[in-house]
């Protein structure tokens, strides 16, 4: 390990824990199929290039998916740990420019990432072929939120239901990430 690895924050992050974090947030009751919503899924090995990215097969519809399928975190050139750090910095109320400096990324890349994260972790259309409109889950993370759920609902939610879900998911995210401050 070179000296540059030691000062690169993302190099210190545990990939396995990042994927565990996504699974815990996305499927607190256990993995279920993003196509047919069935819980009858079996684990089907790991991604060829990302050794902690669990693959699944749905016994109900025979669909295949993995931990990141249908999330903004999939199909992006940034590794999951960079997304997790980006989210963490957003929670610390860092600007896009500061986040870009910390992560060694272009400000425009960070801008795109924070916009996507604010829109929702699992708000993107799944990669699997689907008909009609499908909504799986959503999470809003509002930078600088410090125990003011009404502000979260105002800024992040697009309605009463969205506000409720935003508060619930924000709380879950905080519990997951900042157990000491809960």
> % helix / strand / coil in the chain, to the nearest 5?
45, 10, 45
CB-based contacts of 50, cutoff 8 Å, min separation 6: 15, 19, 79, 80
Residue among 35 and 170 whose Cβ is closer to Zn ion: 35
- The secondary structure of 73-111 as a DSSP string is TTT-SS-HHHHHHHHHHHHTT--HHHHHHHHT--HHHHH
CA distance 145 to 24: 22
| Contact stretch for Zn ion (CB under 5 A) within 25-33, 101-109, 139-147, 156-164 | 25-33
Q: Smallest distance, Å, CB 63 to Zn ion?
A: 4
Q: Smallest distance, Å, CB 85 to Zn ion?
A: 32
| Contacts within 8 Å (CB) and 24+ apart, 53-56 | 53/19, 53/80, 54/19, 54/23, 56/31
Among 31, 33, 80, 123, binds Zn ion (CB under 5 A): 33
Q: Smallest distance, Å, CB 153 to Zn ion?
A: 32
The answer to whether residue 32 forms part of the interface with Zn ion (CB under 5 A) is no
| Contact stretch for Zn ion (CB under 5 A) within 29-37, 48-56, 76-84, 112-120 | 29-37
Residue among 56 and 173 whose Cβ is closer to Zn ion: 56
Residue among 61 and 171 whose Cβ is closer to Zn ion: 61
Among 12, 17, 24, 38, binds Zn ion (CB under 5 A): 38
- DSSP-derived letter for residue 142 is -
Among 60, 112, 128, 130, binds Zn ion (CB under 5 A): 60
Residue among 34 and 157 whose Cβ is closer to Zn ion: 34
CA distance 2 to 7: 9
- DSSP-derived letter for residue 179 is G
Chain residues that interact with Zn ion, rule: CB under 5 A: 33, 35-36, 38, 58, 60-61, 63
């Amino acid at each position: 390990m070179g000296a540059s690895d030691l000062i690169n924050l993302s190099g210190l992050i545990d990939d396995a824990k990042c994927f565990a974090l996504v699974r815990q947030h996305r499927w607190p009751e256990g993995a279920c199929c993003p196509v047919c919503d069935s819980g009858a899924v079996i684990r089907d090995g790991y991604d060829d290039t990302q050794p902690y990215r669990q693959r699944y097969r749905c016994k109900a519809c025979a669909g295949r998916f993995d931990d990141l399928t249908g999330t903004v975190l999939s199909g992006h050139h940034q590794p999951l740990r960079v997304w997790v750090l980006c989210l963490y910095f957003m929670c610390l109320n860092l600007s896009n420019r500061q986040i870009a400096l910390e992560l060694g990324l272009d400000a425009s890349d960070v801008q795109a990432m924070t916009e996507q994260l604010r829109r929702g972790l699992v708000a993107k259309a799944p990669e699997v072929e689907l008909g009609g409109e499908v909504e799986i889950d959503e999470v809003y993370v509002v930078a600088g939120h410090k125990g003011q759920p009404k502000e979260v609902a105002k800024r992040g939610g697009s309605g009463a239901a969205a506000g409720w879900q935003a508060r619930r998911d924000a709380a879950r995210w905080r519990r997951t990430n900042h157990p000491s401050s809960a």
